[in-house]
Amino acid sequence: MTSRTRSLKIFLDANPLVARVEVTEAKGSTPREAGTWMLVASSAIFGTIGGGQLEFMAIDKAREVLALESPPSPPRPPGEGEGRREEAGPLIRSFGAPSSRERGEGGGGALLDIPLGPEIGQCCGGRVGLTISVVDDQVRSALITETEAADTRLPAVYVFGGGHVGHALAQALALLPVRATVVETRAEAIEDFPSDVATRLTAVPEELVREAPGGSAFIVLTHDHSLDFLIVAEALRRTDAAYVGMIGSATKKATFRSWYLKTAGGGEEDFSRLVCPIGGDAVRDKRPAVIAALAAAEILAALAAAEVWNS
């Protein structure tokens, strides 16, 4: 189970009454696209529709809907809860779906049509349509199923090597929309990794390259240059790989090239796909966390260019 599915289940278990805010229409420049959703409970949220005043307004309205679904609470003291966000109410162009208490049935909600202009303190310039609906048991189950399915479609990223840079890269990848796996030949080197990153212990790491799904990214930074070369050669055989990177210097790259062309049967075209050093050379900083941050950005750019998320 990936981090987003696990977090969703924890959120739903902790909050019996939840509203879903979904972007149903996005015109012009908007923070998020149509289909994006977030969940709102009385004192917690899951996900985002883009932040800023748009999200503040949506959260406020969602909690109004939830309040109509909940048992009445004691009145608030005069002035409590007043603020700038509530002043934006007139910008909600249309309301719909009255609460279940008003209709005598389940599934309350509202429709919002919000211009993203100076009236609400945003300058995107677009317009967003939102649907707010109370989440019932059927929708809860559907959300979990949908999230699990989305998680399985995330691109796979394989990090070969659990050293200092491998640990830093795993921490960076754990925050991103990818399925990361750290591969090691040493049992002691796959300890203390983020729970959202899988680990694989194997004596033949190049086999995992062959088993990887199409569109995967491979980052090679083991403790052994000879092992690096074997894994990279296998990864370059994958013409469907989105990214093949190897940690190292210009000298290491030149040594690999000589071995790859003369001994491993590789060609110049495949060799040209190798990224080495990883993370580029614009920032000359060899601290593991810096290398990991630069490499993670490079990997994301490669995955986006390969349109892996759209497959």
Domain range summary for the chain, segments of one domain joined by +: 3-150, 154-310
pLDDT value at 252 more than 60: yes
Percent of the chain clearing pLDDT 70 (strictly above):
83
pLDDT value at 137 more than 70: yes
pLDDT at 217: 98
Residues forming a β-bridge with 158: 181, 218
Maximum Cα interatomic distance, the chain, rounded to a whole number of Å: 82
For residues 181 and 42, the answer to whether their CB atoms sit within 8 Å is no
Lowest mean pLDDT among 84-88, 129-133, 183-187: 84-88
In this predicted model, what pLDDT tens digit does every residue of 63-92 receive, in sequence order?
999 998 866 555 555 555 444 333 334 344
Q: How would you list the strands of the sheet with 37-40, edge to edge?
A: 45-46, 37-40, 19-27, 127-134, 109-115
Architecture per CATH, domain 154-310, reads as: 3-Layer(aba) Sandwich (3.40)
pLDDT at 253: 95
Neighbours of 35 (CB within 10 A): 9
Cα 52 off chain centre by:
20
| CA nearest to 114, candidates 98, 96, 126 | 126
Q: Which one has a higher pLDDT value, 236 or 96? A: 236
pLDDT at 102: 37
In this predicted model, what pLDDT tens digit does every residue of 146-160 receive, in sequence order?
999 988 889 999 999
